[in-house]
Structure 1
Amino acid sequence: MIPVTVLFASILQLLLAGTFFVIPVVGRRRGPAAQRAAETEVAGQGLPAAVLARHRIDFGASRASVVLAMSIGVCLAALALLNLSGSGTGRILSWIFQAVVLVLGCVIMPGEVFTTRYIEAAVRKSDDQDLRRLDVGAVVEAAAKAYPSWFRGVIAARLVLATAGSLLVIIMLAMPGAGEYLA
């Protein structure tokens, strides 16, 4: 019988994997419309729409980011299945991979959740006067409207699962019951 700690850790891994599949697909699909909406908002503020491209501000998902995210999702799903099957290798690889995901969750993913703050910080540091006049909140809001209403919740869930969830996975897989099962 699968210990509760291993089952719960695996469920967390599968949930996190799901976010790495959903977010890039939606980002790739709705990103061009979000970018157009952001550029329209920029133009409505009397600024050249190209100011976003000049500063690499993009509200979509590139092919490379989709491939990377999907690869992370596949790894997480594979680790969850290894853990559920009782593989000691899955446990060790989970400790390593979840630690990497935890760091990514702390360093990279907050920018996806707190987009306005991160872009505003970059704008304040910029020498580009057009960019400094930009109402970032309005631009981000315009882009966000191109995405489904539930999308921000999935992005926030990924941040929580990547940080607190990764930490829980590491701890649960280190518990004695998990150790006996994952031999």
Structure 2
Amino acid sequence: MPIAVLSASILQLLLAGTFFLIPVVGRRHGPAAQTAAETEIARQGLPPALLARHRIDFGASRASVVVAMSIGLCLIALAWLNLSGIDTGRILSWIFQAVVFVLGCLIMPGEVFTTRFLEASARKSGDLELRGLDAKALVDAAVVAYPPWFRTVVATRLVLATLGSLAVIILLAMPSANGL
């Protein structure tokens, strides 16, 4: 087994693990986080409906769980194909990891840098109530409902989805990856 293929497969499996863990924790702790956010927004003198109106949700919806776990399953399947020496796995990995890289660049930063994204959204909004939101206090209140290690896992997924995806593509393009 070429080290390049083994390394790429390990990166895929690690990333897959984050796509299973994050939605499970989000479903379990999300309602408490949302309640904490609603309490904080009321403390700021703003209506709790402001969160719903702007789709600010600190949990994981059923749809997001299905999407995340589907991505995780695809990553596991690709890792298995690569570890089995099936050339199709390498080709599909190049395509799929490129898609995950784009997702990592466009969507996942908002999960890691929630306060900054929320502040930027509030500044651009025409909603005066949203502009008055203390985004840091809101995010801080919601984050307390999650386990302390959760933010690290979310940041790890961002790194694995971006830099890890690039590494998988490069590793599987190396001549040694063809030597199965």
1:77-88 mapped onto 2 (5 Å cutoff)? 77-88=76-87
Moved over 3 A (4+): none
Seq. identity, %: 76
Separation of aligned partners in 1, 2:177 and 2:10: 14
For the residue of structure 1 that corresponds to 2:58, the secondary structure is coil
Are 2:77 and 1:72 equivalent residues in the alignment? no
Equivalent residue, structure 2, for 1:3: 2
Q: 1:136: how far off? A: 0.4
Q: TM-score, normalised by structure 1?
A: 0.97
The range that moved more, 62-71 or 49-58, is: 49-58
- TM-superposed CA distance for 1:131, in Å, is 1.1
* 1:91 partner SS: helix
Q: Matches of 2:41 and 2:156 in 1, distance apart?
A: 29
1:132 Cα deviation after fit: 1.0
Q: Distance in 1 between matches of 2:119 and 2:151?
A: 19
Is 6-15 or 43-52 further displaced after alignment? 43-52
Structure 2, gaps ≥5 residues long? none
Give the conservation status (yes or no) of the 8 Å contact 2:109–2:158: yes
Q: Using the TM superposition, give the Cα deviation of residue 128 of structure 1 relative to its aligned residue in structure 2, in angstroms.
A: 1.5
The whole-number CA distance in structure 2 between the counterparts of 1:130 and 1:103 is 33
The whole-number CA distance in structure 1 between the counterparts of 2:87 and 2:129 is 56
Q: How does 1:24-173 map to 2 (within 5 A)?
A: 24-173=23-172
Contact 2:2-2:179 within 8 A present in 1 as well: no
Give CA-to-partner distance per residue, 1:67-92, whole Å, 9 cap, x none. Answer: 00000000001100110010101000
Deviation at 1:105, TM superposition (A): 0.5
Partner of 2:179, secondary structure, is helix
Instruction: Work out the CA distance in 2 between the residues paired with 1:71 and 1:108.
Output: 16
Distance, in Å, in 2 between the alignment partners of 1:131 and 1:163 is: 31
Higher deviation after alignment, 121-130 or 27-36 = 121-130
- Whole-angstrom distance in 1 between the partners of 2:179 and 2:77: 20
**Which deviations, in whole Å up to 9, do the C-alpha atoms of 1:34-85 show, x marking residues without a partner?**
0000000000111111111111100001000000000000000110011001
Q: Partners in 2 of 1:151 and 1:145 — Cα distance? A: 10
Partner of 2:174: 175
Question: Structure 2 CA distance, aligned partners of 1:3 and 1:128?
Answer: 56
Provide the C-alpha distance between the structure 1 equivalents of 2:127 and 2:97, rounded to a whole number of angstroms: 39
Distance 2:168 2:162 in 1: 10
Q: What is the distance in 2 between the residues matched to 1:129 and 1:177?
A: 58
Q: Runs of 5+ in structure 1 lacking a partner?
A: none
User: SS at the partner of 1:147?
Assistant: coil
RMSD (CA atoms) = 0.6
